[in-house]
A and B are shown apart, each in its own frame.
Chain A
Amino acid sequence: MTRETRPPRAEQQFFDDPAIDRIMGAFMALATEHYVLRDRFLALERGLAQSGSINPAALDQEPDESERAESLADRKAFVEALMRPLLGEQDALGVPGKFSLKTTKSEA
């Protein structure tokens, strides 16, 4: 039996709520991806610096007020997208609350 044809086996569980186990999996996958991108970004910077295309010292300098103001809108949009889900509000109106077919009683 090859790796591909073997039936799946339930993963081990370490947290009281298995959702945390799975979220941690997604979190670590993203962290790995983030580091891969960071590594490539730094390699690009090194290459560009060696070719004289960029001045690394200038890149490392603290941005002045005008540059920070220019990026403010982008920063706000990023924070909005990141944190808006914490409010638990719908973007498109529908039935609220926890959904279950086991009961007709709304738990909202």
Chain B
Amino acid sequence: MDDRSFTAAQDFLLSAKTFWTTTLYGAVRDSYSEKANHSQDGASDSVEAVAEALEDTTLYQFYAWLERHLQRMKYAGRYGLVPYHEERRREMLEALGHVDTDDRFLELNENLDLPAYYTGVDIHQHPGGVWSDALAGVIYERGARTTTPLLDAAGKDVHERFTDLALAGGSHSNVLDMGCGFGKSTQPFFRRLPDSRIEGVDLAAPCIKLAASLAQKAQSKNVRFRQMNACNTDYANESFDLVTSTMVLHELPPKTLDEFFDEAFRVLSPGGRMVNLDFYCLPDAFRRFIHYGHARRNNESYMGPLAEMDISKLLTSKGFVDVEILPFKETEGVDIDANGSWRFPWTVIAARKPERCGS
């Protein structure tokens, strides 16, 4: 496959996705509003009622089909990310390979047991997942460039905006990015805090190899990526004053999420903050219905369970204080409420470890 054909096909799919995000989503939403207005009960507050109203309509069936299959075609099929990178395997691996021996940036663990929830489903419809193939990190990075439909008109990436928020009102000398993926979420931290120690951990070796490679190319000296389960790290108690995660919580089964928060609490210094960016605040049944459908269609098994959890109660039960659950606008340049396009229910979930536990 030549580069031009690949780019043309991916651009076509992205344009189709944009139509889906704006026009088709808007039509489904309007269709539901009309049905709700004509029903005696008005807009229902249950997902089941929205499903009853929409799932058998032709419009929604096309909406759902396109959500599933535009993503499938992005990754697989003749012009998909996987075959494109497969044809360039050797050169792409050569570009990554030189960081393997440099443990200043990278620490791999070949004996790490990957959990069944992680290997049993190919998240994001990425064939083989983000962990099973040496190229998976590079493919994931390329795919993630077009994940967020509402791009910031001011050009400020969602990770930069999240970092602004995480760093606000404090100084941070030790930062842990849990489930750092290919390091996109870690980059603003190690770039903005050159005198601090930044650590990123993730299950997927292909992803942290890419993260380390990018950090090395950026000549960063304050960051290290380690292949490790974020729920069971080897860091000493109270090692970090800031623990973050970005789009990780919704990938975890409830029991694992419980362990994740326990581990964050353990490694945080007294007074330290945990700040997570994820998908949680769903203001009405329609948005919830759309989100749960997205979860199923995009192979995100635990989006629904996360959205159903009482996170505030859970964090409080673990000893966290100052719990904040705030809707997050991924862009500065667009009036999201007026825009009406499909978007993730971005939410910041933050909490603080008390100065003295039990206080």
Contact = CB atoms under 8 A, between A and B. Distances in A.
A40 B68 contact: no
Interface string A1-39: 011000000001011100001001100110111011011
A12 B77 contact: no
A24 B65 contact: yes
A40 B79 CA distance: 15
A39 B8 contact: yes
Contacts of A32: 9, 12-13, 73, 77-79
Contacts of B56: 16
Contacts of B64: 14
Nearest to B76: A3
A3 B127 contact: yes
Contacts of A38: 8
Nearest to B7: A39
Contacts of B62: 14
A14 B68 contact: yes
Contacts of B145: none
Contacts of A72: none
Interface string B1-31: 0001100110111001000000000000000
A12 B297 contact: yes
A36 B69 contact: no
B4 A40 contact: yes
A32 B4 CA distance: 13
A35 B8 contact: yes
B133 interface: yes
Most buried by B among A3, A15, A16, A25: A3
B8 A2 contact: no
A21 B62 CA distance: 9
Interface string B54-86: 001000011011001110010001110010000
B124 to A, nearest CB: 14
A57 B70 CA distance: 36
Contact of B8 (A24, A28, A40): A40
Nearest to A39: B8
Contact of B296 (A12, A25, A29, A36): A12
Nearest to A31: B12
A42 B245 CA distance: 44
B133 A3 contact: yes
A3 B12 CA distance: 26
Contacts of B46: none
Contacts of A69: none
A43 interface: yes
Interface of A: 2-3, 12, 14-16, 21, 24-25, 28-29, 31-33, 35-36, 38-40, 43
5 contacts: A15-B65, A32-B77, A32-B79, A36-B5, A40-B4
